[in-house]
């Protein structure tokens, strides 16, 4: 029982990559609407029912940097060594995959996402890894200024 109590009270060490990604999410959202979310506000958004299960898993993994991309492959003997197979010189990082890579088709997705976003009446945010991973924190209000859950 004592061992279980110690384990319950022992905090896991903070992962440097997770801390960096959370900092980017906080800064991106503060730049967009002036409010800086806390870690305690970010994590529960990954459990929202308005975000499907596979997307929640992707967001959680991206916040922790758990995907086997980029620097992960520098530690192994792989042909492209963590660089984008299509772009060649670009490290295959989540920012590159989601926002920069020309071959992934992401530019089409972002044009469509922007088109849908304009229906919220809010300005289109500057795209960054922080705004993408913090997407669950955006609040949309109805005509009375109250949060509109249907807009998520």
Q: What is the pLDDT of residues 1-53, one digit of tens each?
A: 888 888 888 777 788 889 999 999 999 999 988 889 999 999 999 898 888 99
152 in helix, strand or coil?
A: coil
CA 72, CA 89: separation in Å to the nearest integer? 16
Mean of per-residue pLDDT scores for the chain? 85
Phi, then psi, of 141 in degrees rounded to 5: -105, 150
pLDDT band at 139 (very low <50, low <70, confident <90, very high): confident
pLDDT band at 149 (very low <50, low <70, confident <90, very high): low
The pTM (predicted TM-score) of the whole model is 0.78
Check pLDDT > 60 for residue 152. Answer: no
CA angle in degrees (0–180, nearest 5) for 43-145-55: 30
Q: What pLDDT is recorded for position 19?
A: 93
Helix axes 53-64, 16-33, angle to 10 degrees: 110
Per-residue pLDDT tens digits for 112-130: 999 998 887 788 999 999 9
pLDDT band at 77 (very low <50, low <70, confident <90, very high): low
CA 44, CA 78: separation in Å to the nearest integer? 37
């Amino acid at each position: 029982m004592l061992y279980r109590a110690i384990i319950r009270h022992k905090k896991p060490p903070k992962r440097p990559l997770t801390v960096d990604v959370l900092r980017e999410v906080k800064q991106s959202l503060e730049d967009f609407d002036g409010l800086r979310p806390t870690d305690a506000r970010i994590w529960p958004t990954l459990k929202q029912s308005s975000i499907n299960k596979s997307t929640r898993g992707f967001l959680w993994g991206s916040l922790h940097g758990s995907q086997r991309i980029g620097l992960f492959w520098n530690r192994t003997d792989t042909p492209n060594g963590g660089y984008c197979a299509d772009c060649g010189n670009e490290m295959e990082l989540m920012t590159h995959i989601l926002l920069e890579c020309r071959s992934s088709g992401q530019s089409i997705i972002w044009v469509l996402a922007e088109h849908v976003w304009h229906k919220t009446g809010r300005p289109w945010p500057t795209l960054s890894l922080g705004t993408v991973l913090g997407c669950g924190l955006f609040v949309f209000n109805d005509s009375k200024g109250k949060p509109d859950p249907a807009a998520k």
